[in-house]
Chain A
Amino acid sequence: QSALTQPASVSGSPGQSITISCTGTSSDVGTYNLVSWYQQHPGKAPEVMIYEGTKRPSGVSNRFSGSKSGNTASLTISGLQAEDEADYYCCSYAGRGTWVFGGGTKLTVL
């Protein structure tokens, strides 16, 4: 069970859109529609932003959206705001009750 692959960092200006990729394998992302995305501000616990690949929990801005193609899931944030600057992690079900996280992506709002 290897960690999912995410870019170490992405950046964008306020108002722009960015996309963070999360690449797994046919044993996790490619097989199960159970990818979730988490936002983590410094010193804070993670917060779920997307679940089941594309769904938003109540209270999460519709500027956050998720998608999947093959073994790669993606998180898109549109209309970037300063408050979006944080670390983002993907997580996928990997079968037999196990879960795997991505290495994390640091989002910088320029």
Chain B
Amino acid sequence: QLQLQESGPGLVKSSETLSLTCTVSGGSISSSSYYWGWIRQPPGKGLEWIGSIYYSGTTYYNPSLKSRVTISVDTSKNQFSLQLSSVTAADTAVYYCARLTTAHQGWDIWGQGTMVTVSS
């Protein structure tokens, strides 16, 4: 079955750029049936949608993060990536990658999540 796995540094310095990659296994990222997204959760807090991407490269971003976020896709590697610039302590969170069905079935598959801490 399809699985998602986040990877990237667990510690990022303040003002620098956070970079994470999500590797899709057991299925193709190029399917027309899905979007791929990033969702984060600060410690002890709720979920926040960061953005989504289609295999064609079309992107959608949370308006509150749009100026700092870039999501890209590499279909040859079956991966999609997140870059968040100018990070602060407020960006410390568990970052999840997830799959969204175009059939409106919600975010149906999630990665295990990766904790990213922003240090000063």
A residues neighboring B (CB under 8 Å) = 1, 3, 34, 36, 38, 45-48, 50-52, 55, 57, 89, 91, 96-104
Contacts and interface: CB of A to CB of B under 8 A. Distances in A.
B70 interface: no
- Best-surrounded residue of A36, A50, A57 (most CB of chain B within 10 A): A36
Interface residues of B, number: 24
B63 A46 contact: no
B104 A34 contact: yes
A91 B46 contact: no
Given A1-B62, A98-B62, A101-B46, A45 B108 contact: no
Interface string B28-52: 0000000001010000011111001
Contacts, number: 66
A57 B49 CA distance: 21
B83 to A, nearest CB: 19
Contacts of A51: 104-106, 108
Nearest to B66: A98
13 contacts: A38-B106, A45-B96, A46-B47, A52-B105, A52-B106, A57-B108, A89-B47, A91-B107, A98-B61, A98-B62, A99-B100, A104-B45, A104-B47
Interface of B: 37, 39, 45-49, 52, 60-64, 96, 100, 104-108, 110-113
Nearest to A6: B46
A62 B50 CA distance: 31
- Identify the interface centre among A91, A97, A99: most chain B CB within 10 Å of its CB: A99
A20 to B, nearest CB: 13
Closest 7 CB pairs of A and B: A97-B60, A36-B106, A51-B106, A45-B110, A104-B46, A48-B106, A99-B49
Contacts of A55: 105
